[in-house]
């Protein structure tokens, strides 16, 4: 376990992998409960309702500082929760962060055009077996996808607003109330998952015969990459550790010089 965690910490180009060899299980309207850790890039956007945070939208980790979601999800004060499976009874693996920066691509709220937002976390997530990034690409034509899933904590019935506490997934490509911003994720022959779409909207809550609408992520990957490059994250932790190391070495050398017999 320690070796695996160290690998996640130091190899940043690992993406779209499911830990422990767990085959994902389902969740959503008509979905079933997902296995814990089956979708480690899935995050929960929660808004502050008076004094309690409430599940509002989903999102997807692309780096330790950056998350993608739907632009229409932003309403009031939000926080991002990663590594969570049961939102009513959070596990010890959860990581909570506030939002320090957000941008969307000229979002049209009326027509829902460009329903995508890139979000920078105030504090980075630490990659482990329950928190990992998903892969992205601008060319899906070269990939032979075998399975596609959507996941989230949206309502599981259309008869009443009854959001589940545990994460769900399903093969069905219709968005559910409360699952906006969550990923449409597809796996290739290697088993790696790619972010193909972001859940945007549909008629009602997955009504029969009504199509689900997703934002095609490949169309925006260059914009996402450019935005992230234009807003680099200062690594205060690394700078602090370097300064601390140099200070200790300097003090140690001074101590040796002072204690050296004359």
Q: pLDDT by residue (tens digit) across 135-180?
A: 998 887 777 777 888 888 764 433 333 344 455 555 544 545 557 8
- Confidence label for 24 from pLDDT (cuts 50, 70 and 90): low
Distance CA(60)–CA(16), nearest Å, equals 11
| Residue-level pLDDT at 4 | 42
Q: In this predicted structure, what is the pLDDT of residue 196?
A: 92
Question: Residue 250 — very low, low, confident or very high, per pLDDT cuts 50/70/90?
Answer: confident
CA 21 to chain centre: 20
Does residue 250 sit in helix, strand or coil?
A: helix
- Mean pLDDT of the 200-212 span: 61
Q: Could you tell me the pLDDT band of residue 11, with boundaries at 50, 70 and 90?
A: very low
Binned at pLDDT 50, 70 and 90, residue 188 comes out as: confident
In this prediction, residue 155 carries a pLDDT of 47
Q: What is the pLDDT of residue 23?
A: 53
Q: What is the mean pLDDT of residues 210-230?
A: 88
All residues at 6 or more sequence positions from 15 whose CB lies less than 8 Å from its CB, including other chains? 132, 133, 134, 135, 136, 192
pLDDT bracket for residue 10 (50, 70, 90)? very low
Among residues 15, 11, 14, 12, which one has the least CA distance to residue 193?
A: 15
Q: Which of 164-173, 231-240, 252-261 has the highest mean pLDDT?
A: 252-261
Which pLDDT belongs to residue 42?
93
pLDDT at 41 over 90: yes
- Does residue 107 register a pLDDT over 80? no
Q: What share of the chain is helix, strand, coil (3-state, %, to 5)?
A: 20, 30, 50
CA dist., res. 71 & res. 105, Å (int): 8
Question: Which pLDDT belongs to residue 145?
Answer: 78
Total residue length of the chain: 262
Active-site residue set: 72, 115, 180
Taking all residues of the chain, what is their mean pLDDT, rounded to a whole number?
Answer: 76
Q: What is the pTM of this model?
A: 0.75
Of 11-25, 39-53, 60-74, 125-139, the least confident: 11-25
CATH architecture for segment(s) 2-259: Beta Barrel (2.40)
Q: In sequence order, what DSSP letters do the residues of 68-89 get, joined into one string? A: EE-GGG--SSEEEEES-SBSSS
Q: What are phi and psi of 142, to 5 degrees?
A: -85, -10
Tell me the pLDDT tens digit for each residue of 77-90. Answer: 889 999 888 877 77
Helices (H), the chain: 2-10, 221-230, 236-259
Contacts of 69 (CB under 8 A, 6+ apart): 45, 57, 58, 59, 60, 116, 117, 119, 181, 198
Is 80 exceeded by the pLDDT of residue 193? yes
Check if the beta carbon of residue 81 is closer than 8 Å to that of residue 46. yes
CB of 140 within 8 A of CB of 196?
A: yes
Helix count and strand count (H, E) for the chain: 3, 12
């Amino acid at each position: 376990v320690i070796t695996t965690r160290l690998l996640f910490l130091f190899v940043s180009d690992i993406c779209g992998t499911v830990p422990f060899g767990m085959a994902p299980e389902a969740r959503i309207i008509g979905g079933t409960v997902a296995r814990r850790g089956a979708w480690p890039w899935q995050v929960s956007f929660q808004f502050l309702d008076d004094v309690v945070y409430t599940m509002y939208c989903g999102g997807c980790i692309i780096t330790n500082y950056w998350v993608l979601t739907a632009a229409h999800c932003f309403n009031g004060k939000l926080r991002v929760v990663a590594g969570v499976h049961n939102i009513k009874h959070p596990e010890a693996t959860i990581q909570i962060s506030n939002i320090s920066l957000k941008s969307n691509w000229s979002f049209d709220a009326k027509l829902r055009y460009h329903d995508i937002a890139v979000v920078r976390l105030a504090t980075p997530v630490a990659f482990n077996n329950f928190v990992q990034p998903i892969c992205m690409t601008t060319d899906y034509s070269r990939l032979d996808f075998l399975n596609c899933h959507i996941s989230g904590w949206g309502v599981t019935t259309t008869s009443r607003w009854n959001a589940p506490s545990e994460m769900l997934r399903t093969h069905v490509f219709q968005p559910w109330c409360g699952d906006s911003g969550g990923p449409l994720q597809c796996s290739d022959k290697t088993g790696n998952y790619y972010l193909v779409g972001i859940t945007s909207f549909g008629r009602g809550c997955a009504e029969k015969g009504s199509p689900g609408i997703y934002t095609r992520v490949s169309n925006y990957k260059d914009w996402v990459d450019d935005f992230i490059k234009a807003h680099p994250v200062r690594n205060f932790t690394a700078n602090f550790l370097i300064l601390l190391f140099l200070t200790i070495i300097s003090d140690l050398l001074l101590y040796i010089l002072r204690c050296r017999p004359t």
